[in-house]
Structures are given as structure tokens and as C-alpha cells.
Structure 1
């Protein structure tokens, strides 16, 4: 397969398309706001006018959109991809959506003779640009094998999470919850240091090079220490959407998640304060305000 379709050219979609082009693939792209396609078109992608126009029958279509509703519209709408993908076509869904949404779409595609692979990712736009995404994958084994080289063109490792289509989304939502919780913990620890007259950026360096030498503490630790939340790599309103999905899944499976409720309240209050377009690390401003540091 040397041609794919790609729908969704936001902060993540654009660098992902560029990496597909670098891998030698022909890429047809669609985005609701067409002018966002200019950069990938100049890199060699072909812009089309309707979602269904990216579809090659029996081919592969990748979607990277903002929420469940947008994804379902792309599949079910008259000019969407669902009815056209055809026998043995593959929908590689890389959006962060509810596990139940993936299950429903997988069933719909199965009835049409095509396949749905849930494949959300861990990584911010800079990781996407550097081909350093961590890519999750669940769904039909044969279809997963067919898309693996495409996933590898966009990331550094693919994690196979079984055939149940919602599995990848469960793991993705759990990971996003853990990032939110880590951000709140960092904010509180940095505030404790600052209230004692210690430079919070120095403290962030201590933690991120010793006890918590990992991507989240290195990347978000610096942002939170500097209290710098713009430009947004991942907008706070999308973080709230993901936290709502976490709590929906927790409720449906009767899984108590008291810490998820706490960070949900942080995100909700942040949106209420007009911070929806800032980076989701801006949820930590509330801790700063409560400590008298804002």
C-alpha cells in the first residue's frame, strides 16, 4: 500500500502527514478548514474537497480529529468514509475518543466488510514532528499487520493491545489521566518550594533528573515551573474532554477514580476562568492562585 488518505490537519495531523510523505507514501488529505492544508500540500500531499475523496476502495484512511462527534460524522455522513471504504478497507483511527465509540465504529465497519483499528497516540506536536510518537493499536490482527508500517512511519514504537477495539482507547485515556494527575502534583510541589524561597525551576530540574526522569516531568515540569502555558500544544478544553471520557468509562465499569474527579474540577474551573485555549498544563494555575502565588 503506497497511498493513504488522511483526515484532520490540526497540530498533530500536519506533522504526521509530513512523516508519511517522507516515508514515500502518496497522501490525500481533507480538513474542514482547507487553508490549514497549505503546508502539507507544499510538502507533496493532495488536497481534496470532501472526506470521501480521500478514500481509495479497499484502501487505508487515517483520521486524527478532535472528538467523538467529529469522528462519527466522518464515518456516518453521506460524504463520509464509512460506505465507500469497502471490502477489506481499513480505517486507522488515531483520535482520542471513548472506548465505546471505537466499539460502535468497529461494528459498523465490520458490517460493511471493512476494518477499524483504534490507534491513539502519546506525544505532543513536537514529538509528532520528530517521528517520536508512542502509538497504541487494537483491533483485527490481520488489519493491524497491514497498517503497522504506516504507524511506524509516524512514531517510535507501536503497542499491540489485542483485538478488542476499545482497548487502545482505555489505555490512552488512562495515560492522559496520569498526565493530569502528575501536573497537579508538580504544581503543588513547586509551590511548596517557592513558598520556602527556593527557585521553582531549579526544583523542577531536581525532580526531572532524579526521581521522575521521564517525558511528562521533563516536558510539563518546565512549563509548570515557568508558569508558561502558551502557545498551547494541547488545549485545556481538549484535556477537559478527555477527563470527561475517563470519568464516563470509570462510571460505566464501576471503577472508583477519586483523583480523576479532582483534576476534572481543576480543568472545569480553568475553562470557567477563560483558559480553554491555553495549554492543558494551565490547570495548575489554580494551585498557584490558592497558594497566593498568582
Structure 2
């Protein structure tokens, strides 16, 4: 199976590397060609343009946002270069609106579109232990399951409509943001009363909240360990906004999302945009006079 991988950022690079190690023939493209060098050195074919992926049977994109995905896949001709019957797997977090547009464009070209956003940070991607959230044509999902088996520990199916997987990912990221916000507020509260956040979070994650998300983000907040960014704060704002858009389409009120949006904007205004999104905790700390 010939695979093209577009987008070799912090997540895309290790994912493409795992496919190479698994023996797949890989073509790679990235806006900054230097990111492709380690993969090319290990046997991947470098594409100078997105349209150079012609001949690929499966195309995977891991691009930052809606605008970049639309530009690379449609404006720069990546999808137009594919033969009918190819599969396009979008593994990034994008809006439901873009998901619908991509599915429609692919259908017109005879290309099968699968939404497959992932849960997991960079270290999880490198270990091939992502959770992959999928939706699309059942026979095409079966066709690419061996690819998912290389990239993740489990593949979750949420329906035949790609938009369903996109919605699940947006809902999951919204919940992660609420965890970060609640831990940040609680850490500020205990610190204001002379209690070390590290001790508080250690107690919480050993009792009531013994779960990876609380342990990982709680530890980062307690230690104020916001670099290097596994997921930038600016991307957190993007995903909260996309969740709000999806909710508005179906008249689903999400009042917490509005609070999160404003706090992300606050953090970015204070210069924290390139920090890990767990730095959202800085907002509560600053408002409490603790920073």
C-alpha cells in the first residue's frame, strides 16, 4: 500500500515514522521541508508540492487547521492528483463544516473520505499508542485498519458519516480544556491558602481523580511546566471555538465553552499562546495575584 503523509509537525512526524518502520512505502510533504529530512533519510520519498503525491493509494493529513487543510488538499491540488478509489484520511482536528466540504469534494472525485482524529500527545504518537476516532464508509475503514493498527492502540468507530468522528474529537477536546481550567482554578485556590499545588494534586490524582488526564495536566500545572508545548494554547482556543460552532449548529448550549474561550483569549493576550495549553492555569493564578 502506497501512503502519502502531509503535515510533519510534532504529531505528524512520529506518525509517519511509525508507518515507515512498519514497512509501508511513504511519500511525505511539509511546508518546511527540513521536517521531512529524518524521514527521507530513513527511506521516505520527499514531495516538493502537495500535488506530487500522485500514485498514492492512501493519503493522510495532519495539518494545523481548517484553512491550511483546505489550501493543501484543494487549492494546492493534493486531492486532484489522486486516482478515483484512493482514500483520504484526515487525522487532524478540524471543524464539522470543513469535514462536510472535504467529504463532498472527495465524493465528486471518486475518492473515499475518512475522518480519523486522534487522542494522544506527541509521546503517545511516537509510541504508536494513539486512540483513533473514526467515521466513514465501513468497507473503506476496514481497508485502512492495518494503517490504524500501526498508529494507535485502539480504533473507535462512530458511524458512517465523517462528521460524527469530528464531533467526538471536538467534544473530547472541550472536556480536556474543562479539566485544565478546573485544575488551574483549584491549584490557585489552595496556593492562596498556603498549600503547595503539587501536594494537592498528588492527593487528588491518588484518590478522587486517578486518571491520566488529571495526572498529566495536573503535574504540568503544579510544576508550571508549560514548555515544550505538546499542544499549543492557541490550538486549544481553536478547538473550543470549533466545539461552539458544532454546538450552535444543533442548538446545544455550552456555557462552559464561552468561559473557556474568554480565558484562552486572556492567556494569549498575556503572551502565553505558544505555551502548552495547560498554561491556561496561568489565568487563574494571575487573577489571584499569585503571578
Normalised-by-shorter TM-score class? over 0.9
Match of 2:238 among 222, 241, 245: 241
List aligned pairs for 1:98-137, cutoff 5 A: 98-137=95-134
Specify the alignment match of 2:69 in structure 1. Answer: 71
**Residue pair 1:88, 1:114 contacting (<8 A) in 2 also:** yes
Q: Distance in 2 between matches of 1:10 and 1:244?
A: 22
Q: Distance in 2 between matches of 1:266 and 1:122?
A: 23
Return 5+ residue gaps in structure 1 as ranges: none
Matched, 1:33 2:32: yes
Matched, 1:157 2:168: no
SS across alignment from 1:264: helix
Q: Distance in 1 between matches of 2:33 and 2:272?
A: 27
Specify the alignment match of 1:7 in structure 2. Answer: 6
Question: Which segment is superposed worse, 196-205 or 15-24?
Answer: 196-205
TM-score (norm. length: structure 2): 0.97
**Residue pair 1:6, 1:28 contacting (<8 A) in 2 also:** yes
Specify the alignment match of 2:46 in structure 1. Answer: 47
Specify the alignment match of 1:216 in structure 2. Answer: 213
Match of 2:82 among 76, 81, 85: 85
Q: Distance in 2 between matches of 1:132 and 1:293?
A: 37
List aligned pairs for 1:189-200, cutoff 5 A: 189-200=186-197
Question: How far did residue 42 of structure 1 move?
Answer: 2.3
Match of 1:62 among 50, 60, 63: 60
**Residue pair 2:184, 2:280 contacting (<8 A) in 1 also:** no
Question: How far did residue 21 of structure 1 move?
Answer: 1.1
SS across alignment from 1:27: strand
List aligned pairs for 1:163-178, cutoff 5 A: 163-178=160-175
Count of aligned positions: 291
Specify the alignment match of 1:293 in structure 2. Answer: 290
Structure 1, residues 91-115: CA drift from partner, whole Å, max 9, x if none?
Answer: 0100100112111111111111111
**Residue pair 1:55, 1:61 contacting (<8 A) in 2 also:** no
Structure 1, residues 69-90: CA drift from partner, whole Å, max 9, x if none?
Answer: 111112212x422222221100
SS across alignment from 1:83: helix
Question: How far did residue 192 of structure 1 move?
Answer: 2.1
Return 5+ residue gaps in structure 2 as ranges: none
Q: Distance in 1 between matches of 2:51 and 2:58?
A: 12
Question: How far did residue 196 of structure 1 move?
Answer: 2.4
